[in-house]
Each structure stands twice: as C-alpha cells, then as structure tokens.
C-alpha cells in the first residue's frame, strides 16, 4: 500500500479557483432567484483518471485516492472538517464492505471521529447518488454541510461473479436480464434502435478529440488534484510519479483506426473497445451545503442543485436510462432541453449515448464538450461526482449564468440525472 501525497499549492495561479476570494466570485444571479434553503455546491475536485491494471494508480488503494480529494476540497476553501454534518461516498466494488474503506480514508484525511461517513452503491450513478443523499439530508435539515464523494479502484477490484442469487432468477425475465453483461446491453440498444457502428465510432472519435483538446489546453488543471504516488513498473521496479493528467486520452485516435477494431462482446456486434468506456481508477469529492449555512461561513457558491431524478428502465437495454431520467429532472426544474447549455452524459457506450441524444433532440455540440468516459475513463463509483466537477467548471469558464445536466445509465436498468445552475460571474 502506498501513501499518497497531495502536492502543496495544487491549484495553479492561472486557475480561476486559485483562492478563496476567486471561489467567492462564482456567486451571482438575481436576489429573487436565491433562497436560503437552496442546496448549493461550494467546490469540487477530482484525481486524474488512471487506466485500470496499467495506469498510474494501478497499485493505489481506493482509500488513498479518496483521502486525496477529501483533503484537497476542504483545504481549498479553508473549511475545518468538523463543520461537516456527514460524508457519503459512492463506491461500487466495495472493499471491507464499503464502510471500512470510507472510514479509513476519512481518518487519513485528518477528519475527526465525530464526523460520520457511509457508502452508497447505485452502480454507475453512485457518485451522483452520494450527492443526492447529502442534498436530501440538507433539505431535511438533518445537516447543514456535507461532502459527497465517489471512488473506484478497478485495478484492485474487478467486476466479476454476481454472487449468490435466488434459484428463481432464471424463471423471471426481468430478473434474468439483470445479469446480462453490460456490453451485450449495448449491443441490444444498437440493434433495437438502429444505432450503426459508423455512428458509434464517429461519436467515440469526437470524445477523444474533445478530451485531447481540453487536456492540451489545460482545461482540466483546475479540477484535478496533482498527486505524488508510487507504482510498480513492468520490470518490477518501484517508480514515483506525480499524476496530473488523465492517462486514457488517445490524441492520435482516427476513424480508420476505430473502424478496424473487432467487436468486443458479440461476433457480429458493433460495440468495441474503442467506442466503449474505459475501465479506470479515480476519485472525486464535492462540498455542498444549505445556502444560508454556506453564506454564514463565508464560503463561495459554484452552483445550485435545481433538480434530481432516478428512474427505472428495462435491464436488457439499461443504456437508455438518461433518455428518461433527463426529462424527469428537467420537468422538476421547469426547464426544457433547449434551456440547458451543457449535458454531461456518461459515455458507458457510444450506442446508448447516441440513442439518448437523438431521442431527446440534444444538439451534439452541447454533449460532453470536453470528452467523456470513452476518452477519460469510467471509474464506476467516481464518475457521477467527477461529472459534477467537470460540468460546473465548464459552465464557469463560459462566464455567464447557465444550466447544466449530469446524467448516466445504471446497470440492472436505471437512469439518473441532475440539473445544476451556474449563477454567473
């Protein structure tokens, strides 16, 4: 096990979140649009995303990844951890039954024992569900401030045997569909809704190009916590590196190269390693609170949670989840697709994203403007929290009041979505 070290001053001087004063400038909007009861996002950060089994975090435990972001978020805004009412951690492949890993990370971060912590597992939406849970506690007035996190080490724990299930599973069509491999659900979406291989590959290429452009332009620097860590290389030698960049982005990707890849899940299928999300390691943390409590502590407001929704869909085509969750969240917020500036839709597979985008009539230029999981990677429990961080940073860069949506499909047949408002400069 390797202890991580967060590099001092990880936010560069050029970053718009380089100081507490800079963070506070994020708050704006008319007084009429504000309520002291609003659930607001104060700040969020993530680690870089590493390739599972061979990336920079392949030997790093999830508690270490989690501790890095938990520590950095509070440090950036100068908040003592004893001000937190609760900490919720999204995690799918749960070591130590989940609670142990989260509590260890909690103590490695220097948090006092009086602050509680727990984990939540709603598959690919676990990081977003953590935020929903903390938001719910704030709305019920159980707490004023909380930390919503997500973490996954897909290097050290793999998706495998579903475990002990009822012998009656095979007698129930929907129950049986819950154990269909995710890649096959992608094939089902592609076949049932006519999403061609060409369309999937074109979307995958766009994801890689957008992510490469964002990375080379330094757009991710303001959301990534640089971490000094160690790993064992292919020669068995221990190496120390400072991880500052997502290592799944392939800037040299071409359509010709993608078209040559063989189907990964079905001989005559269209889902490949190139148009699917990458298996990854990473963590993210988002600090949220009731607006009145946040203001009383002199903390900034980066965004406002305006709506949230989770829906169920058929398990065998679970990828269509966002097509139903997004309208549900938009209806809550009193908004339409046309009102949204940025959609962060998790790219589990290009097939399902393309279906959802076309079903809802979302302009492609509004979808994942800095790339998605096909290029960045998809550390299961981390992704939802990572998307919130990426979304709000993108809205801030645009420099005006705007709205964004985070959404993803969920294994076993669900979809989740949240609507956020960036209040402006």
The stretches of 90-247 forming alpha helices (DSSP H) are 99-108, 126-139, 173-177, 182-193, 197-216
Name residues whose C-beta falls within 8 Å of residue 295's C-beta, 6 or more positions apart in sequence. 36
- Residues 368 and 386: beta-carbon distance below 8 Å: no
One digit per residue, the tens of pLDDT, for the chain of length 425 reads 444 554 433 333 333 334 443 444 444 433 347 899 999 999 999 999 999 999 999 999 999 999 999 999 999 999 999 999 999 999 999 988 888 999 999 999 999 999 999 999 999 999 999 999 999 999 999 999 999 999 999 999 888 677 788 889 888 999 999 999 999 999 999 999 999 999 999 999 999 999 999 999 999 999 999 998 877 777 888 888 899 999 999 999 999 999 999 999 999 999 999 999 999 999 999 999 999 999 999 999 999 999 999 999 999 999 999 999 999 999 999 999 999 999 999 999 999 999 999 999 999 999 999 999 999 999 999 999 999 999 999 999 999 999 999 999 999 999 999 999 999 87
Closest among 286, 288, 283, 287 to 102, alpha carbons compared: 283
Residue 240 in 3-state DSSP? Answer: strand
HSE of 92 in the Cβ direction (CA atoms, 13 Å)?
A: 30
- How many Å apart are CA 246 and CA 55, to the nearest integer? 9
- How many Å apart are CA 167 and CA 12, to the nearest integer? 56
Residue 119 in 3-state DSSP? Answer: strand
> What is the sign of the dihedral through the CA atoms of 136, 142, 146 and 150?
negative
CA dist list (Å): 145 to 70, 141, 409: 14, 10, 28
> What is the sign of the dihedral through the CA atoms of 59, 62, 49 and 411?
positive
- Residues 392 and 418: beta-carbon distance below 8 Å: no
- Residue 30: predicted pLDDT: 39
178 is catalytic: no
- Residue 160: predicted pLDDT: 67
> What is the sign of the dihedral through the CA atoms of 240, 96, 51 and 10?
negative
- Residue 1: predicted pLDDT: 44
Burial call 288-322: b when 16+ CB within 10 Å, e when fewer: bbbbebbbebebbbbbbbbbbbbbebebbbbbbbb
Residue 140 in 3-state DSSP? Answer: coil
Which of 10, 88, 106, 124 is the catalytic position? 124
Report the DSSP pairing between strands 238-243 and 227-232: antiparallel
Structure token digits, residue 157: 């724990």
10 is catalytic: no
- How many Å apart are CA 40 and CA 131, to the nearest integer? 11
Tell me the backbone φ, ψ of residue 352, rounded to 5 degrees. -75, -35
The pTM for the full model equals 0.92
Which of 149, 356, 382, 409 is the catalytic position? 409
Which of 88, 149, 378, 382 is the catalytic position? 378
Residue 245 in 3-state DSSP? Answer: coil
Cα of first residue to Cα of last residue in the chain, in angstroms, is 43
Report the DSSP pairing between strands 39-46 and 303-312: antiparallel
- Residue 49: predicted pLDDT: 98
- Residue 237: predicted pLDDT: 84
Q: Which domains does the chain have, with CATH numbers?
A: 5-157+204-257+259-265+274-419 (3.40.47.10)
Structure token digits, residue 413: 């047949």
């Amino acid at each position: 096990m390797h202890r991580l070290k967060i590099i001092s001053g990880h936010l560069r001087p050029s970053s718009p979140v380089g100081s507490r004063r800079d963070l506070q400038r994020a708050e704006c909007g008319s007084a009429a649009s504000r309520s002291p009861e609003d659930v607001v996002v104060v700040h969020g950060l993530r680690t870089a995303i590493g390739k599972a089994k061979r990336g920079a975090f392949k030997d790093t435990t999830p508690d270490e990844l989690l501790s890095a972001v938990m520590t950095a978020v509070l440090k950036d805004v100068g908040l003592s951890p004893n001000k937190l009412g609760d900490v919720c951690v999204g995690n799918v492949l749960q070591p130590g039954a989940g609670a142990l890993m989260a509590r260890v990370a909690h103590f490695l971060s220097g948090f006092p024992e009086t602050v509680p912590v727990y984990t939540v597992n709603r598959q690919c939406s676990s990081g977003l569900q953590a935020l929903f849970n903390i938001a719910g506690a704030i709305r019920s007035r159980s707490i004023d401030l909380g930390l919503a996190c997500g973490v996954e080490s897909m290097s050290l724990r793999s998706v495998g045997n579903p475990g002990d299930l009822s012998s009656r599973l095979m007698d129930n069509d929907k129950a049986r569909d819950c154990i269909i491999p995710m890649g096959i659900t992608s094939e089902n979406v592609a076949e049932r809704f006519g999403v061609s291989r060409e369309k999937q590959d074109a979307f995958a290429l766009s994801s890689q190009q957008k992510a490469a452009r964002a990375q080379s332009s330094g757009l991710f620097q303001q959301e990534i916590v640089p971490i000094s860590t160690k790993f064992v290389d292919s020669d068995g030698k221990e190496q120390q590196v400072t991880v500052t960049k997502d290592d799944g982005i392939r800037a040299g990707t071409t359509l010709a190269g993608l078209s040559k890849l063989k189907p990964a899940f079905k001989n005559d299928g269209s889902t490949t390693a190139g148009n699917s999300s990458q298996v990854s390691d990473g963590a993210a943390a988002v600090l949220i609170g009731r607006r009145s409590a946040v203001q009383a502590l002199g903390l900034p407001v980066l965004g406002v949670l305006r709506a949230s929704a989770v829906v169920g869909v058929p398990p065998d085509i679970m990828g269509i989840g966002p097509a139903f969750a997004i309208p549900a969240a938009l209806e809550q917020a009193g908004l339409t697709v046309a009102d949204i500036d940025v959609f962060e839709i998790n790219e589990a597979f290009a097939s399902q994203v393309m279906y959802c985008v076309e079903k809802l009539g979302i302009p492609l230029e509004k979808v994942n403007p800095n790339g998605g999981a096909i290029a960045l990677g998809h550390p299961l429990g981390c992704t939802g929290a990572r998307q919130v961080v990426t979304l709000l940073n993108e809205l801030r860069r645009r420099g005006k009041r705007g709205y964004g949506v985070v959404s993803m499909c969920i294994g076993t047949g669900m979809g989740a979505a949240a609507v956020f408002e960036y209040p402006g400069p």
